[in-house]
């Protein structure tokens, strides 16, 4: 009987050893194929005029505020701005040349502005963007000055 028990233990040991060997001898397989993806296409930001808090007067500078919408599926970080020509709409009966207001050259934003993907109407303030010359004509009092602003940035 003792011999049978010993034989059983040895048989069990061999079964485990052989079973383990079978599991380790499993066949490995792999496959290769090609996949494709497509990069997003950027869409222009939408920039509309915001409300400035300061008024111009001879020798003074003011910030401009633009509301920016990012329709892209990725975030954008705004880093700078450039300005177009100034147009002026004087009060009725007055005259004011557009040259009475100057714009800053290309501006690097003091703090980049981060726009979330798909964000809407985020206000962006550009400090000291417009300056009224110190010799501005009296006809410029109450006039409205308009300037095109282009905001520059990159995907963030």
Going from N- to C-terminal start, the domains of the chain cover 46-155
User: Angle 38-39-44 (CA atoms, 0-180°, nearest 5)?
Assistant: 140
pLDDT in tens, 51-110: 877 889 999 999 999 999 999 999 999 999 999 999 999 999 999 999 999 999 899 998
CB 74 within 8 A of CB 54: no
26-41 confidence digits (pLDDT tens): 899 999 999 999 888 8
* Nearest-angstrom CA–CA distance, 63 and 103: 10
Q: For Cα atoms 9, 13, 19, give the angle at the middle one, nearest 5 degrees.
A: 140
CATH of domain 46-155: 2.60.40
Alpha-carbon distance 46 to 70, whole Å?
7
């Amino acid at each position: 009987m003792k011999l049978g028990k010993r034989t059983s233990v040895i048989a069990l040991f061999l079964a485990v050893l052989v079973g383990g060997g079978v599991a380790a001898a499993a066949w490995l397989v792999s496959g290769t194929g090609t996949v494709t993806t497509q990069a997003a296409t950027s869409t222009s930001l939408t920039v509309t005029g915001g409300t400035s808090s300061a008024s111009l007067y001879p020798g003074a500078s003011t910030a401009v505020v633009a509301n920016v919408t990012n329709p892209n599926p990725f975030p954008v970080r705004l880093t700078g701005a450039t300005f177009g020509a100034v147009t002026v709409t004087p009060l009725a009966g007055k005259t004011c040349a557009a040259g009475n207001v100057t714009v800053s050259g290309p501006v690097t934003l003091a703090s980049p502005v981060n726009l979330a993907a798909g964000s809407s109407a985020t206000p962006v303030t550009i400090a000291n963007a417009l300056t009224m010359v110190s010799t501005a004509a009296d006809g410029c009092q109450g006039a409205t000055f308009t300037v095109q602003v282009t905001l520059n940035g990159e995907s963030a």
